[in-house]
């Protein structure tokens, strides 16, 4: 990628770990900013997480430089201050109070660097909960998302770090807005993004549903569907397929595709309202018929007919997804151990291009000498 990127010339210094803060930095880095990740001696512990955390570092730290500093020493803090003074944006997501203990909080830094934009990622925005330690799972439980995801009586966290990732996204949006405002005022500001408030935003529609109806919304697995055909069906060879026919036209088309014209001609199933009332009978008919269809053949026919459908896929199956590969959604990246992996691109295009990987994943402290030598010469 040789063309200029939107944030070329912007310098970001990042004090982060885990997912939320690194996501914010990665978005800015993908957009062209020079992002300098400050790691402690030995490196960010996120690099060595096992289990479901094993992919965190590679997923959210591309296109960054790595500088090792010991912030618990006067020399390390002094060097950090020099770097901050040459940066446009600071990103952090450490526990509440830690940056203040280090003298790197916004109030302290803004007095010295009034143009600095300071993006803080926490569990909670200021309020009664702000000193609590939060995790994605914590806020999913207290923010209503787990209740809405699981069946009644069985709250279930979403199967990805949705609040961490979206919290980083909102942090990046705030940074971009603050940069625009700085063009007018000449001053930076603090941007705050938080897991709990992010989760509440995710369930905003359900809060509004309650305010409009006075009835608590049921969990999604127990919801009353607005459409008669909006479910997962078992096909031949125990394959599974979601089908959503959300209009009268789509229902008639579905009946043609699965060769059940009798259902389309049934006057008791003429409208969606009638079909919802007849849903138990209709679903029994559909499930019995669809058991005889093979997945590939049915998908091809549904796609040609314009009926919404979705095969159930695991994340590992997406590595070979033809659309992701053709659209540039998966990109090769050299890793910090000399290998190559595939990473997921930001889900957008700008100027007919996907934002790509510009450099190998940084090794611990790989850019320390280069970055600090430019400090001393400054």
Nearest to 21 by CA among 152, 194, 154, 230: 194
Residue 254 CB contacts under 8 Å (≥ 6 apart), including other chains: 229, 243, 245, 302, 305, 307
DSSP string across 182-220: HHHHS---EEEEEHHHHHHHHTHHHHHHHHHHSSPPPPG
User: Following CA atoms 146, 147, 152, 158 in sequence, which dihedral angle do they give, to the nearest 10 degrees?
Assistant: -20
Burial class (CB in 10 A: 0-12, 13-18, 19+), 82: middle
What are the residue ranges of helices labelled H in 6-97? 20-30, 56-60, 74-85
The answer to whether 287 and 271 are in contact (CB under 8 A) is: no
Q: CA angle 91-28-59, nearest 5°?
A: 90
Rounded Cα gap, residues 40 and 15, in angstroms: 10
Q: Which residue has the tokens 């309202």?
A: 273
Beta strands in 32-97 (DSSP E): 34-39, 64-68, 89-92
164, 320, 337, 370: the catalytic one is 164
Parallel, antiparallel or unpaired: strands 229-234 and 89-92 = unpaired
To the query of whether residue 164 is one of the catalytic residues in this protein, the response is yes
List the helix and strand counts (H, then E) for the chain.
Answer: 17, 13
Active-site residue set = 164
């Amino acid at each position: 990628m040789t063309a200029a990127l939107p944030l070329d010339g912007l310098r970001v210094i990042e004090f982060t770990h885990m997912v939320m803060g690194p996501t914010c930095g990665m978005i800015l880095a993908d957009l062209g900013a020079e992002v300098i990740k400050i790691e402690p001696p030995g490196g960010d512990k996120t690099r060595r997480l096992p289990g479901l955390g094993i992919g965190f570092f590679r997923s959210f730290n591309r296109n960054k430089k790595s500088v090792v500093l010991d912030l618990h020493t006067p020399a390390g803090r002094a060097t950090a201050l020099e770097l901050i003074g040459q940066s446009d944006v600071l990103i952090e997501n450490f526990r509440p109070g830690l940056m203040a203990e280090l003298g790197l909080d916004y109030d302290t830094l803004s007095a010295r660097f009034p143009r600095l934009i300071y993006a803080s990622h926490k569990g909670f925005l200021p309020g009664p909960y702000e000193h609590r330690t939060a995790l994605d799972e914590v806020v999913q439980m207290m923010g209503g998302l787990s209740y809405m995801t699981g069946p009644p009586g069985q709250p279930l966290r979403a199967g990805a770090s949705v609040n961490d990732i979206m919290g980083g996204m909102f942090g990046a949006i705030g940074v971009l807005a603050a940069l625009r405002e700085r063009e007018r005022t000449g001053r930076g500001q603090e941007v705050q993004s938080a897991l709990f408030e992010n989760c509440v935003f995710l369930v905003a529609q359900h809060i509004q549903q309650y305010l409009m109806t006075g009835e608590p919304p049921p969990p999604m697995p127990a919801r009353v569907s607005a459409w008669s055909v909006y479910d997962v069906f078992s096909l031949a060879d125990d394959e599974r397929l979601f089908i959503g026919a959300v209009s009268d036209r789509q229902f008639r088309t579905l009946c043609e595709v699965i060769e059940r014209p009798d259902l389309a001609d049934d006057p008791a199933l003429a409208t969606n309202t009638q079909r919802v009332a007849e849903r138990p009978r209709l679903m029994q008919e559909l499930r019995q018929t669809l058991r005889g269809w093979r997945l590939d053949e049915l998908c091809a026919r549904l796609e040609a007919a314009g009926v919404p459908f979705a095969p159930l896929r695991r994340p590992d199956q997406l590595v070979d997804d033809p659309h992701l590969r053709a659209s540039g959604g998966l990109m090769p990246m050299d890793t910090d151990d000399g290998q190559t992996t595939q990473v997921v691109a930001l889900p957008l295009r700008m100027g007919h291009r996907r934002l790509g990987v510009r450099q190998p994943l940084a090794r611990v402290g790989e850019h320390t000498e280069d970055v600090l030598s430019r400090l001393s010469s400054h």
